Amino acid sequence: MHFEDSPLSKAYDYDKVILDFGTYYLFDDFFIMEVNEGEHLNWNKLKILLNSLRTYYGKHKTLAYIANRINSYSIDPVLWSYFDKDDSILRAASIVSYRESTHLNANIEKQMSAIPMKRSHSLEEAVNWVQQIKNLN
């Protein structure tokens, strides 16, 4: 389910940013990303996203990331290894999968990730998990 179609969109204040390859929603300590159908999330797109996040939140903020996988797209799983760097804005991630193939891909990404990662079956589950994470900053 798209974030804006979910009950969560009415329960939280957020800002919306549209990029060429997807849309993301900004909250105090996390953001939700919905990548467009058919995209390939690579290093160049990740840099655009990270620069946009740093512009919005500042250089010292750390966040949890929720990937709302409503569309079919590919991601270079090696990108997850980037987030062990000291300057990373991301400290945890949850992948919301609605199909078995997406859940299987999330298993592979979890193995590659240097940050805590949870595979979730709903946006509500993912948001509850990231809100329980302490000491993001």
Using 50, 70 and 90 to split pLDDT, how confident is the model at 114? low
What residues does each domain of the chain span?
Answer: 3-132
71, 102 from 67: Cα distances, Å: 11, 11
What's the pLDDT score for residue 137?
47
What's the pLDDT score for residue 84?
58
Between 122 and 81, name the one with better pLDDT.
122
Whether residue 110 has pLDDT greater than 70: no
Whether residue 116 has pLDDT greater than 90: no
CATH number of 3-132: 3.30.750
Whether residue 33 has pLDDT greater than 70: yes
Mean pLDDT of 72-96: 78
